[in-house]
């Protein structure tokens, strides 16, 4: 067809047609990759870049943690201050993650399943904590609850302590980590549309039944990944927590703050032993992510076929 | 037609009021009210006072260090990230899946852990530091150290925004170009690069924005010398510790405005890229 049409400007027939072999159109026979030397170069460079910036640092954490032997490692993570830090970290994550998960589910349901004015503004506000520096995130709570702050003196008179207390740490962590679940869920729920939910509602299911029996099975892997990432960030948050904690040993130190103190006291191996707990958590998070990612793709693919077939 | 479908949609699914209510309440309590407290606090300052704080030499020096290192790190990631993404999408090699998973490590590893690890690695006695020292290169406690830390934290942003675009790239365009006799270099620069450019720009901006606010991974390696290697977030921290709330607020608001501008430009970029498709 193209050959018959010719070049519209000159009227000349198009000359390149005969050069296309039948195989080329199918994708074979056309060179769609680079010479091996380029390939090897690019792979080598990428691997080296990743090795220097990611693999070696990760290895170092574990090497330093176990340098003085397993008993020193166990001693470092079971000393009372370390245990107190672990407890506070678990408490923080234990409160922050469920709250943020509930918010993530509510926000993604409202955003993905309904259309309303100001949706893009809402999505932008949800993203805000990603762009706010953790230090500034912690600072806003100092401004609110500090002695010079708006509520500070009022709360102090009533003997309520938020700053330099676990409550402040929990609030700051909540701020920093709250977009994670919503961010994972919104795109998945948007792509899945509302057909199945509407069918369920027509059949008489209420909100809870619709969510639990129809939506949840479709989003469970995305939800798991969001929760896991939120958890990793909640346990590892440093900047925001550092501002509000006051660094009171045994009382307001989380695991990262405890690692910082040990590091500053030149107790390197103990610092890395404590740090390795969070490095373990990061590695586990990545493994679950990899696994969940495949499942999320399946979730989307299955749904995609449904809608494609239905329309 | 579309409008009535929307109305249907809204009426037929339950839970809009409930979920919207929870979202708005939570957002207001945790984000909007605390953040607006910061902005209201700046009204305690007069304009001349505000400028005096922002333009004081130590603050300006911290801006220079922070912006310089952040731009540099985002540029390094913008240059190397696409190559990593390309290897992961287009090539097969042993250990590829592990490498792919590790791209997210800077995102999952707490910043303080990254900070003490990189510092130990690049200090004069560290694995890398002791190798670089004979060459006269000092990384820890210099601006170069800040750059290294920020390259680490920014790495996933560029790779993870470029990678999905490469995955969904239409091979037919490449086939067509190749069958028309275009060389591989030509195809890469004229067909593949233009299609990943918006993603690359988004990734660059994300990495840059993240770097500006970074604290944990940088404070250990930077050395924190005022005027030389003191980053802005640390300066905010210092002012807070001295109970200089006005000083901290002025610097923080300036940083926030820059971050919001960057967020806005990312959104515009993505809206434009979305229209182009």
Q: How many Cβ atoms are within 10 Å of A308's Cβ, its own excluded? A: 8
Q: Cβ of B110 under 8 Å from any chain A Cβ?
A: yes
pLDDT computed for residue B217 by the predictor: 94
pLDDT surpasses 90 at A31: no
Look up the CATH architecture of domain B44-276: Orthogonal Bundle (1.10)
Read off the pLDDT of residues A228-244 as tens digits, 9 standing for 90 and up. 999 999 999 999 999 99
Q: Is B5 exposed, middle or buried (0-12, 13-18, 19+ CB in 10 A)?
A: exposed
pLDDT surpasses 50 at A3: no
Asked if A237 lies within 8 A of B110 by C-beta distance, the reply is yes
Asked if A45 lies within 8 A of B248 by C-beta distance, the reply is no
Read off the pLDDT of residues A94-126 as tens digits, 9 standing for 90 and up. 999 999 999 999 999 999 988 888 888 888 888
Distance CA A167, CA A163 (A): 7
Candidate from B23, B34, B179 with C-beta closest to A144: B34
A153 CB neighbours in chain B (<8 A) are none
Distance CA A55, CA A53 (A): 7
B161 CB neighbours in chain A (<8 A) are none
Q: How many Cβ atoms are within 10 Å of B272's Cβ, its own excluded? A: 10
* Partner B, chain A 237-266, Cβ-Cβ below 8 Å: 237-239, 242-243, 255-257, 259-260, 263
Read off the pLDDT of residues A173-221 as tens digits, 9 standing for 90 and up. 999 998 999 988 998 898 888 888 888 888 888 888 888 888 898 899 9
Residue B31 DSSP label: I
Residue, of A130 and B154, whose pLDDT is higher: B154
Instruction: Determine which of B39, B108, B183 to mutate to test the interface with A (most A C-beta atoms within 10 Å).
Output: B108
Are B138 and A264 in contact by the 8 Å Cβ rule? The answer is no
B30 CB neighbours in chain A (<8 A) are 171, 174-175, 178
Candidate from A53, A64, A242 with C-beta closest to B152: A53
A124 CB neighbours in chain B (<8 A) are 263, 267
pLDDT computed for residue A162 by the predictor: 84
Q: Cβ of B254 under 8 Å from any chain A Cβ?
A: no
Asked if A107 lies within 8 A of B19 by C-beta distance, the reply is yes
B15 CB neighbours in chain A (<8 A) are 109-110, 113, 207, 211
B180 CB neighbours in chain A (<8 A) are 16
Residue whose C-alpha is closest to residue B229's, from B60, B112, B66, B55: B66
User: Tokens 């926000």 label which residue?
Assistant: A107
Asked if A58 lies within 8 A of B109 by C-beta distance, the reply is yes
Distance CA B187, CA B198 (A): 18
Asked if B127 lies within 8 A of A56 by C-beta distance, the reply is yes
Read off the pLDDT of residues B1-47 as tens digits, 9 standing for 90 and up. 444 444 444 456 888 889 999 999 999 998 898 888 888 888 888 89
Lowest mean pLDDT among A12-26, A204-218, B150-164, B234-248: A12-26
Instruction: Determine which of B38, B83, B112, B258 to mutate to test the interface with A (most A C-beta atoms within 10 Å).
Output: B112
Distance CA B50, CA B213 (A): 20
Asked if A235 lies within 8 A of B110 by C-beta distance, the reply is yes
Written as six digits, the tokens of A144 are 């609110």
Asked if B31 lies within 8 A of A260 by C-beta distance, the reply is no
| Closest chain B C-alpha to A60 CA, distance in angstroms | 7
* Partner A, chain B 52-71, Cβ-Cβ below 8 Å: none
How large is the average pLDDT for residues A75-79? 94
Read off the pLDDT of residues B192-216 as tens digits, 9 standing for 90 and up. 899 899 999 999 999 999 999 999 9
Read off the pLDDT of residues B98-145 as tens digits, 9 standing for 90 and up. 999 999 999 999 999 999 999 999 998 999 999 999 999 999 999 999
Asked if A116 lies within 8 A of B10 by C-beta distance, the reply is yes
Candidate from A114, A202, A259 with C-beta closest to B10: A114
| Closest chain A C-alpha to B33 CA, distance in angstroms | 9
B252 CB neighbours in chain A (<8 A) are 133, 135-136, 139
A139 CB neighbours in chain B (<8 A) are 38, 236, 240, 248, 252
Q: Cβ of A135 under 8 Å from any chain B Cβ?
A: yes
Read off the pLDDT of residues A41-69 as tens digits, 9 standing for 90 and up. 999 999 999 999 999 999 999 999 999 99
Whole-structure pTM value: 0.87
In this predicted complex, what is the ipTM? 0.89
pLDDT surpasses 50 at A16: no
Any idea where the domains of chain B sit in the sequence?
44-276
**Secondary structure (DSSP) of B71-129:** HHHHHHHHHHHHHHHHHHHH---TTHHHHHHHTTHHHHS-HHHHHHHHHHHHSTTSHHH
Asked if B110 lies within 8 A of A238 by C-beta distance, the reply is yes
A257 CB neighbours in chain B (<8 A) are 112
Are A178 and A246 in contact by the 8 Å Cβ rule? The answer is no
Candidate from A46, A122, A126 with C-beta closest to B83: A46
Distance CA A122, CA A119 (A): 5
Written as six digits, the tokens of B38 are 């910061």
Q: Cβ of A53 under 8 Å from any chain B Cβ?
A: yes
B214 CB neighbours in chain A (<8 A) are 133
């Amino acid at each position: 067809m193209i050959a018959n049409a010719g070049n519209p400007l000159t009227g000349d027939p198009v000359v390149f047609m005969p050069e296309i072999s039948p195989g080329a159109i199918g994708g074979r026979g056309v060179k769609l990759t680079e010479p091996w030397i380029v390939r090897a170069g690019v792979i080598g460079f990428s691997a080296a870049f990743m090795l220097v910036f990611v693999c070696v640092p990760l290895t170092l954490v574990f090497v330093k943690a176990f340098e003085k032997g397993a008993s020193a490692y166990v001693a470092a993570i079971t000393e009372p201050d370390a245990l107190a830090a672990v407890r506070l970290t678990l408490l923080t994550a234990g409160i922050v993650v469920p709250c943020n998960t509930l918010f993530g589910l509510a926000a993604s349901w409202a955003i993905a399943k309904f259309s309303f004015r100001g949706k893009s503004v809402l999505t932008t506000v949800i993203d805000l904590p990603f762009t706010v520096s953790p230090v500034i995130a912690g600072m806003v709570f100092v401004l609110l609850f500090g002695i010079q702050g708006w509520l500070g003196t009022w709360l102090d008179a009533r003997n309520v302590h938020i700053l330099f207390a676990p409550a402040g740490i929990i609030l700051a962590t909540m701020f920093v980590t709250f977009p994670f679940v919503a961010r994972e869920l919104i795109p998945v729920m948007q792509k899945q549309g509302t057909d199945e939910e509407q069918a369920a509602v027509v059949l008489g299911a209420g909100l809870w039944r619709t969510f639990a029996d129809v939506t949840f099975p479709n989003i469970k892997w995305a939800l798991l990944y969001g929760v896991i990432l939120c958890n990793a960030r909640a346990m590892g948050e440093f900047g925001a927590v550092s501002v509000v904690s006051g660094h009171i040993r045994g009382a307001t130190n989380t695991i990262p703050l405890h690692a910082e103190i040990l590091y500053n006291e030149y107790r390197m191996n103990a610092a890395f032993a404590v740090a390795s707990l969070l490095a373990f958590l990061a590695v586990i998070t990545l493994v679950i992510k990899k696994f969940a990612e495949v499942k999320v793709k399946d979730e989307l693919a299955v749904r995609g076929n449904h809608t494609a077939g239905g329309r | 037609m579309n409008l009535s479908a929307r109305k249907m949609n809204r009426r037929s699914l339950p839970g809009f009021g409930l979920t919207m209510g929870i979202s708005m309440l939570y957002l207001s309590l945790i984000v909007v009210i605390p953040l607006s407290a910061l902005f209201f606090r700046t009204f305690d300052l007069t304009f001349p006072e505000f400028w005096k704080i922002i333009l004081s030499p130590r603050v300006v020096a911290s801006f220079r260090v922070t912006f310089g290192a952040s731009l540099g790190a985002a540029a390094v990631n913008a240059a190397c990230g696409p190559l990593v993404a390309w290897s992961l999408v287009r090539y097969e090699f042993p250990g590829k899946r592990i490498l792919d998973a590790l791209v997210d490590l800077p995102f999952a590893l707490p910043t303080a852990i990254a900070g003490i690890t990189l510092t130990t690695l690049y200090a004069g006695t560290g694995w890398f530091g002791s190798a670089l020292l004979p060459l006269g290169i000092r990384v820890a406690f210099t601006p170069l150290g800040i750059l290294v830390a920020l390259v680490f934290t920014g790495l996933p942003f560029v790779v993870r925004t470029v990678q999905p675009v490469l995955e969904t790239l239409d091979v037919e365009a490449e086939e067509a170009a190749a069958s028309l006799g275009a060389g591989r270099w030509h195809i890469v620069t004229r067909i593949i690069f233009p299609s990943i450019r918006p993603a690359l720009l988004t990734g660059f901006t994300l990495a840059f924005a993240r770097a500006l606010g970074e604290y944990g991974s940088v404070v250990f390696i930077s050395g924190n010398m005022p005027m030389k290697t003191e980053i802005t977030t640390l300066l905010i921290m210092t002012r807070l510790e001295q109970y200089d709330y006005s000083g901290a607020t002025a610097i923080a608001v300036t940083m926030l405005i820059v971050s919001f501008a960057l967020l806005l430009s990312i959104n515009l970029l993505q809206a434009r890229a979305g229209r182009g498709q």
